[in-house]
Structures are given as C-alpha cells and as structure tokens.
Structure 1
Amino acid sequence: MKRRHLVLSAGLAPALAWAQTYPAKPVRLVVPFPAGGATDIFARALSQKLGDKLGQPLVVENRPGAGGTIGSEVVAKAAPDGYTLLLATSSTHSIGPNLNPRMPYDAVKDFTPISHVGNAPSIMLVPNSTPARTLKEWLDYARGNPGRLNYASSGNGTIVQLTAELFKAQAGLFIVHIPYKGTALAIPDLVSGKVGVLFDSLPTGLPHVRDGRLRALAVTSAKRTAMAPELPAVAELLPGFESNTWFGLYAPRALPPDILARVNAAANQALAEPDVKDKLARLGIEPVGGTPQQFAQMAAADALKWKKIIAERKITSD
C-alpha cells in the first residue's frame, strides 16, 4: 500500500505543480461574434481586469460565424489546459442548441462552466401613439384587441422573438410576429406605429426613449435595473417572467479543478471592480459572478425555458 501511495503521489505531482503555476503564458479568450458587437465589447471590458487578476494578459480572439457556432466549436475542441476560454452567450448555449439539433458541439458535455459573468435585459418599447401608458394598461388593451397588434423582432429564432413569444405565452396574448433583419431596421416602423411593440436590448433601445421617439413600458430582467430604475420589471405583473441575454465564461471539458477554481475566483474579483461595473453598466450589462455550479444550473434552466417556447411556438431560425 505504501509503495502504491508513493506511485500515485508521484503521478499527481506534475499535475499539481502545473495547476499551481497556471497561468504561465497569455490566455486566449475566444469571442464567437464579430469585433465591435456587444459580446466583443464586453470581452474587452472584462479581459484586462481578468488578466490582471490571473497575472497574465487575456488575448481576445474573434472567431465569428454561424451565430456563434464556429468560435464555440474552436473552444470545445481545444486542450483543457486553461489557456483557451470562451465568452459564450445564451445564443450559443441556450437557444442555438434548441434551434439546431446538428450543432457541432454539445453545449453541456463539451464545456466546463466557469462563471456567469453578466446579464443584459431587454426593454419593452411601444410607439408614442399607443393609448396605454403603463404595462398594465397595455396588457388590458392587447387582451381586448386579439390579433390586431403585432410585434417586431430582429429575425426568426432570435432572443428578441423568443422574449416576445415568452411574454405572449405568459400573458395569454395573440400578437402577430413581424421579423426584421435587425432591430435597427424595425425602429422607424415602431416610431410610426406600423408595428406595436419591440423587445429591444436595453442600451440600444433606451436612447430612443430618452430622446422622446418611443415609450418604454418595462424591462425583462427579474427585477428593476439600475440603468432605468423608473421602469417596472415585467415580472411585477407576470410573476416569474424573465428574459436576459446572459454572458458566461467556459473552458473545454475536463478542465482541472484547481485551474477552474483559479479562473472563477479571478472572474468574480474582476466583476467586483468599480471600473468594470461602470463599463458594463454603459453596455446595459449587469455583472453577476458566482460559482461554476450556479452558472451551470442557470444555463440549464435557461435552455429548458427556451426549449419549451421553441417547441410550443414552432419557432425556427432564419
């Protein structure tokens, strides 16, 4: 037994030493979306401080394509040594796998969840000509006029459409879907009243409210957001309603536990920094943090929620 113990200890020693010296070189942070987009800007806001906490720089690498699938696959197939990380979103790990059964990766089995780093809620926008001035008034109006209202989205299978369909399901509404190629193209028709409602991202939608072009009725986070504290959460009238674009750090599967703990701790520390919080607030993103287990549970629940909506509403992607 003693000899066996020595052999096992000798085998574990290199792995332990490797984990203790991690990271010994720069770490690659793959962003599966184009440069300049929300996920990319978030990655750059987080990467410098996260690199400081780890003691090595994080090099952001954009690998866009196929709705985030290409970059995610790169990480899924990388070595689980902590030197390749992924900044994923609900699109790559909750929604995409439920819309496309032929994904080149398994969103659960092929990754190690590290940290739920942020949430970006949406804002419910309506034309100024809408007679309703509160969410309750709007719900009463919509329920009294089934089929006469429509909603805009940024395309079939997007978080914008899914949020609206979740809202319809929980509120018991009949509203017609009008897909656009991006929410920016829908704004003029929303302003003119050609479409009746849009669940836009908070940072892009709020300026239209501030300049008086549109009216905001609510936000889709579970609670009110600091970016627009005057707006109620939809959940105040529809208990349990929540829709966020979430952001999370992943590594390839089988990441050593010591390295997982190190990156998770560094991420939590970085998210707590005031300048990181300020940068994220300007993006409409609320920092989260927490344990890998909490992140895995949240992602699983989110995927299940969208799976149900996609199936019930027969939603497909463009």
Structure 2
Amino acid sequence: MPSTSNPIALGIVGVGKIVRDQHLPALAGNDNYRLIAVASRHGKVDGIANFPSIEAMLEAVPTLEAVSLCMPPQARYTAARAALDAGKHVFLEKPPGATVSEVEDLRRLAVTKGVSLFASWHSRYAPAVEAARSFLASTQIHAASIVWKEDVRRWHPNQDWIWQAGGLGVFDPGINALSIATHIFPAMFITGATLEFPENRAAPIAAAIDFRTAQDLAVSADFDWRQTGPQSWDIFAETDRGQMALSGGGAKLVVDGHVVHQENEAEYPALYRRFAEIVRSGTSDVDLAPLQHVADAFMLGKRRTVEAFID
C-alpha cells in the first residue's frame, strides 16, 4: 500500500469528455497521485505513456497501483476485473457498472484481492449535500420531490452509447439525483414508474418515479432530457422546520427562502481525496443504492413510446 508521503501511481482508462473536463484537472491539483499512464482507443494524454487497452497498460506498466475507469458502463466490468486481478485499486466512474450483480461481483473480488474499490457518486460530493443531510436529520419530513431536467444535446452531444441498452438514457443524469437522495433521505423503495422511450432509441429520455420509505414518506422524481434553457437539478422537502430546496445539483441549500449553504462545485477533487483515503486505509466504498433504484425503475416501470430523438 502506498504511504502517505508517496503519491499513488495512477492510470486512467477511457479518455473522453469527462476525463478532460473533470478527472485531469482534479488530479493536477492533488499531490496524492502521479498520473503515469492512460489507456484509450481514441483519446491520448500528452507527456505520459498511452496504450490502446487496459490489458496493454497493465502489462507494460507494472508499477501502476490504481486505475480510474472512465469508459461507458457497458464495458467497465471486464476492465475492472482485469485491474483487480492484477492487484490494482479501482476507481469506478459513475454509474459503477451496467448491472447491480456485476458490481457486487467486483466488490467481492476486491475483498479477495485485498485492494480498494470505489463507486464514485460525484454528485454526493457537491458542496451543500452534507448541509442538507444534517438539516433533514433534525426534522420531520412530510413530503419530498426531485426535479432533474437537462438538455441531452448540450451535455451528451453525439454520444451513441448512452442511448444503447445499458447506457441508462436519462438515468445517466438521474442517477446523480438518486445518489444525493439516497444519502440525505431515509431508505426508499420504488412503488411505480413510467419510462418514456423515443421510438428510435433503446434507452429512456424521461422518467417519472414514485418512491416510499418505511416511515411512509412519499418521494417523487421527475427526470427529463428534453429541457432547454435553464437546467433543473433540484431536490425539495417539506419539513416541520420549513421548506428545503437543494439546487444546482447540490451546490446551494435554501430553507424557507434563506441561503444556508452555497459554494462553488468541486466534486471531482473531493472524489479523488476520498479515493486516496480508502486506498491508504485498505478499505472500499461501494454503495449500490442509486444503481439498484435504476434497476428497480426498469423492472417496475411502465414503458411509453414517444417521438423519435434526433441528435
């Protein structure tokens, strides 16, 4: 295990938009890591070793201690298993896999190999999420709702994989909302859902979901990828201490119109700090609740066909 004074030798697999926008800037400001290699079929990073596959990278760079897997979820299991088999710590970009069962298998393998596995729910690390969690823990919640609507053309231009089976469709952003909700609300289960599929796509463009807790709290969620103009990433709760609004994807907490907490987004630096913690402590952090809710929505949801989506 790396010591606290030695940076973790890291490789990244899958060099796409999320890596360039988030992972590389976060790593550039973190002394816990030394990025020494990447593996990608299409992307490259200047100044370090580049490989066409994770297998080639693992064979050529035995000094790697950890890998961040940032390819689409449909291909992540095979890559994660290769890294774990090689004794590497693994950071899983969200969602951690295409199915619940494959991530469970990876969690068991990480224990067997004695390495760390991290399911990195980045929205859970938004700056006002912990403040919202603390506020709700001190209240009685009467009702709650999630409104997560954005423009797919803006955030996922020309990304065909996200519309394929296993790509999650609108649940790719929706799972961010679920990662926050499962952290700040009591444990929930789905009672019903309606999923809207474009007639030319294999993944939904919108979803309406009803949840309930063991305490009989009703929580509704409205996910939509057709939003234009301002984007909506909001979670609301009616409580005995007032109305809570967690907005901006978890960046701002307002209670009864008063700002309680607001900071600039810094999710990925926080994720990499957390990954370093679990690597150095020899533990794992793999919460499957958000992915389980997505699986349940597909299992219980009524399918509704809507007009074709043209990118």
TM range (shorter): 0.3 to 0.5
Larger Rg: 1
Q: TM-score, normalized by length of structure 2?
A: 0.40
* Structure with greater contact order relative to length (CA < 8 Å, sep ≥ 6): 1
* Structure showing the higher strand proportion among its residues: 2
Q: TM-score, normalized by length of structure 1?
A: 0.40
